[in-house]
Amino acid sequence: MTKRQRAYLIHGTSTRDDDWFPWLEQAAKPDIIVSRLTLPEPFNPDPSHWQDACDAQIEAKPGMILVAHSLGCITALRYVERHQVKDVRLLLVGAFDQGLPDYPQLNSFVQPPIDYGQVKPKLAGSTVICAQNDPIAPYQDGVAVSQRIGAKLIVQPTGGHFLSSDGYQEFPLALKELQRLANL
């Protein structure tokens, strides 16, 4: 019998109730308890407010699991960068760590650059999922993030930005990778 594990889901410029997030919470039960974070002003995000919200809602402990989407991926990486944790598992979907030309208002999240020397040694395992037809975060950015953290990389030909509007009210691949990471 496996022990129940907790995963924290960090959304991007959406809400905890959007896209595939509620589905993942239900689908992962009973082995993994997914806590969907609530981040302030997700449509006008501020990195320091998001960091504070993560600090208040995530228990930093060895073996923790962070699932993140889009801007939440940077937020998850920053969380690991800032905390003294070990054996962290990351599942990053639609990841990027560079400025997005169409979204200059998000540049404050990527500056200064993430110190991967502070992140990578704290990881027990990670997966990055991206799509070649992502119209928001170029999939090459996800590839680069995966290389920087030594993650398993899954590049799909389609999937867009993995939003409900891209057909992602459910996301079995994310569940499969979450379960794999939980069993490391």
pLDDT in tens, 107-157: 999 999 999 999 999 999 999 999 999 999 999 999 999 999 999 999 999
Q: Using a pLDDT cut of 90, give the percent of the chain over it.
A: 97
CA 11 → CA 2, 37, 182, distances in Å?
27, 7, 19
**pLDDT digit string, tens, across residues 156-183:** 999 999 999 999 999 999 999 999 999 9
- 179: enclosing H helix or E strand: helix 172-182
Q: Which residues, in sequence order, are CB contacts of 176 under 8 Å at separation 6+? A: none
Residue located via tokens 């896209």: 19
Cα 146 to its chain centre, rounded Å, is: 12
d(CA 28, CA 9): 12
Q: Is the pLDDT of residue 1 over 50?
A: no
pLDDT, residue 4, reads: 80
Q: Is the pLDDT of residue 49 over 50?
A: yes
